[in-house]
């Protein structure tokens, strides 16, 4: 088994930090669906504004509000306006590789979906 990117949200702007909540990154349900991420799914979060990385789980915020909130202990790893990458991975066997397609959602500054891309292990980026 090898670990590969399964889903990602890139360019998510933190809209709130709630240290008193459960440990999670709380994301607008529509954005979770766009990236094929589920509540309670383990994710790696990279705060590109601060050069930090942490693991937590996703939680769903009401749809339409474009919320991205760091809650609980992970609230100290971000501030409102910070840019995040939220990524989930999957273990794949060699025979699964030709069929693997990762879903990557790029957000605009206001957390609106700008683009959705399909990526494979065989893509050549230029």
Give the whole-angstrom CA distance, residue 76 versus residue 118. 32
CATH topology of domain 2-119: Barwin-like endoglucanases (2.40.40)
Q: What's the confidence (pLDDT) of residue 89? A: 98
Residues 77, 22 contacting (CB under 8 angstroms): no
| Average pLDDT by stretches of 10, the chain with 126 residues | 96 98 97 98 98 98 98 97 98 92 96 96 74
State the pLDDT at residue 21: 92
Looking at residue 55, what is its pLDDT?
97
pTM: 0.95
Facing residues of 27 across strands?
60, 68
pLDDT for 126 equals 45
Report DSSP letters for 23-36, one per residue. SEEEEEHHHHHHHT
């Amino acid at each position: 088994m090898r670990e590969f990117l399964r889903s990602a949200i890139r360019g998510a702007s933190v809209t709130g930090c709630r240290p008193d909540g459960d440990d999670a990154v709380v994301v607008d349900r529509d954005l979770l669906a766009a990236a094929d991420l589920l509540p309670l799914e383990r994710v790696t979060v990279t705060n590109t504004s601060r050069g930090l990385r942490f693991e937590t789980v996703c939680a769903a915020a009401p749809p339409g509000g474009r919320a991205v909130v760091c809650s609980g202990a992970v609230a100290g790893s971000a501030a409102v306006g910070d840019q995040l990458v939220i990524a989930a991975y999957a273990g794949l066997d060699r025979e699964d590789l030709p069929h693997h397609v990762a879903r990557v959602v790029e957000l605009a500054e206001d957390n609106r979906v700008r683009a959705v891309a399909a990526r494979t292990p065989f893509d050549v980026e230029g």
